[in-house]
């Protein structure tokens, strides 16, 4: 991976971009000796964005599946208890169960 500071970017931007494209390696841009940006190929960036969106969709799917499983377990518990005159106890258990998970 190559490193370039801001002054070098100003002076040699086209050479740095050409090196990124030729070597297929990103360049770290430093400002006051701290990394502030990366110069990468557009296709690499687009691929990273696609993978990130796919991972977010997968995570949302897993969260939804877990929530549905929890709901089904709650329905089973409620069915086992039958009809109750006061729902305070089951609501307390639900809240405590959510806090413990």
- In CATH, what class is 2-40? alpha beta
Share of the chain above pLDDT 90, in %: 63
Provide the 8-state DSSP code for 85. S
- pTM (predicted TM-score): 0.60
> Quick check: helix, strand or coil at residue 2?
strand
More confident residue, 55 or 98: 55
**Token duo for residue 34:** 């701290």
pLDDT digits (tens, 9 = 90+) for 78-93: 777 776 666 777 777 7
**pLDDT over 60 at 99, yes or no:** no
d(C-alpha 53, C-alpha 47), whole Å: 10
The pLDDT score that the predictor gives to residue 31 is 93
More confident residue, 15 or 95: 15
**pLDDT over 70 at 16, yes or no:** yes
pLDDT digits (tens, 9 = 90+) for 38-52: 999 999 999 999 999
């Amino acid at each position: 991976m190559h490193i370039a500071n801001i002054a070098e970017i100003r002076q040699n931007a086209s050479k740095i971009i050409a090196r990124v494209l030729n070597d297929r390696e990103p360049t770290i841009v430093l400002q006051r000796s701290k990394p502030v940006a990366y110069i990468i190929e557009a296709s690499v960036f687009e691929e990273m964005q696609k993978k990130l969106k796919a991972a977010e969709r997968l995570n949302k799917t897993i969260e939804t599946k877990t929530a549905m499983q929890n709901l089904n377990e709650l329905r089973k518990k409620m069915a086992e208890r039958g009809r109750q005159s006061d729902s305070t106890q089951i609501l307390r258990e639900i809240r405590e169960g959510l806090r413990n998970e």
